[in-house]
Amino acid sequence: MERKTRMIPYTANEERYEKMEYRRCGESGLKLSAVSLGFWHNFGTYDCYETNRAVMRRAFDLGVTVFDLANNYGPPAGSAEETFGRLMREDFSPYRDEMVITTKAGYTMWPGPYGDFGSRKYLLASLDQSLRRMGLDYVDIFYHHRMDPDTPLEESMGALAQAVKSGKALYAGISNYSPEAAKRAAALLREMGVRCLICQSRYSMLDRQIETDGLFDAAKRAGMGLTAFSPLAQGLLTGKYNDGIPRGSRASGKSPFLTKDRITPDVIEKVRKIGALAKRRGQTTAQLALAWILRQETMASVLIGASSVAQLEENVGAVNRLTFRDEELAEIEKILK
């Protein structure tokens, strides 16, 4: 039996748009909050709903307007969207037109040959399921979550185009795409009369592949915005692992995405030096790491997770100082080498 939560009815802070930065996404007319709140972790069935509610309320009060979901977020899969749907019903339905709500499909969701990857049948069925879980008529951005090696890209992009033309999504996006596939996807969607709004990719100080593999250039040429997920390298760039692996942390075995072998002495030394620079700038290590990403015009937003209001507030505080002196950037490059 679901436990009822008693809280004071929510009214958004009237000053919520005064301190957040909003960035135009690629060549579109849509602006995104520089910081987006992701529901990948912390918003599933096994997490505390009261904390989820407090985090989302505070995020919106701080000017965060982008809320990033996917069909498989939880755990279990689907439960993050269900949590989001409850939050919408209880608090945020009056503010729907002030929010950019995104979801994705591309990973395994149900058994059999039609519940995974990138077929038209899977993508459109998944979008319908996501809308039901969230209690929405449409999402603002619908992403293909990963490339499908077996489905023609024309079919996957055709499904995204159909989602937009049917009104179930306002924009189409791609995630975890290679530069070449991103260029092709954008071109195909353009031929279908739909813009590829955005490309979501992993990017941080400790994972800079998209700087060298051509994705930055591909996005700019296609008129797409970029948004970075895992901008804090699964918590490494918060400094929380500088003195060992805390009990209950992701690296303690809680998550397969950050394993102990990644926390090397070399990495920790880099994080400590970055932290020292951050302190001189009046920032935390996490704030500097986020600001370093957002200094680039192509980046429309950084995607953060938050397990507490305090963590959320710290990360959103990155927007208070996004500029770097040339000597600071040179020092960062020296550290990261």
Q: Output the domain CATH number for residue 196.
A: 3.20.20.100
The answer to whether residue 283 sits within a structural domain is: no
- Residue 117 included in any domain: yes
Considering the domain boundaries, does residue 108 fall inside one? yes
Q: What is the pTM of this model?
A: 0.94
Asked, for residue 259, whether it belongs to a domain, the answer is no
What's the chain's average pLDDT? 94
pLDDT value, residue 263 = 83
pLDDT in tens, 125-158: 999 999 999 999 999 999 999 999 999 999 999 9
pLDDT confidence of residue 99: 98
pLDDT in tens, 110-122: 999 999 999 999 9
| Residue 262 domain-assigned (yes or no) | no
Asked if residue 333 is part of any domain, the answer here is no
Given a contact cutoff of 8 angstroms between Cβ atoms, the answer to whether 277 and 332 are in contact is yes
Residues found in the chain? 337
Which three-class secondary structure string do you get for 219-232?
HHHHCCEEEEECCC
Q: Is residue 144 part of a domain?
A: yes
Whether the CB-CB separation of 170 and 138 falls below 8 Å is answered with: yes
The reply to whether 118 falls in a domain is yes
pLDDT score at 261: 75
CB of 234 within 8 A of CB of 260?
Answer: no
Confidence of residue 40 (pLDDT cuts 50, 70, 90): very high
Interacting residues of 99 by C-beta distance below 8 A, sequence separation 6+: 60, 65, 66, 67, 92, 140
Q: Kindly indicate the confidence band of residue 7, based on its pLDDT and cuts at 50, 70 and 90.
A: low
Q: Say if strands 299-304 and 35-38 run parallel, antiparallel, or are unpaired.
A: parallel
Report the pLDDT averaged over residues 17-22.
Answer: 97
Encode pLDDT of 51-68 as tens digits: 999 999 999 999 999 999
**pLDDT tens-digit readout, 195-249:** 999 999 999 999 999 999 999 999 999 999 999 999 999 999 999 888 766 666 5
Domain coverage including residue 150: 22-232+289-323
Q: Which residue has the tokens 């970075």?
A: 228
Structural domains in the chain (count): 1
Which residue is it, tokens 């400590």?
272
| Short-list 28, 20, 21, CA closest to 198 | 28
Angle between helices 153-165 and 120-134 (to 10 degrees): 40
| Residues 6+ positions from 100 with CB-CB distance below 8 Å | 30, 32, 33, 65, 66, 67, 140, 141
- Cβ-contact 141, 173 below 8 angstroms: yes
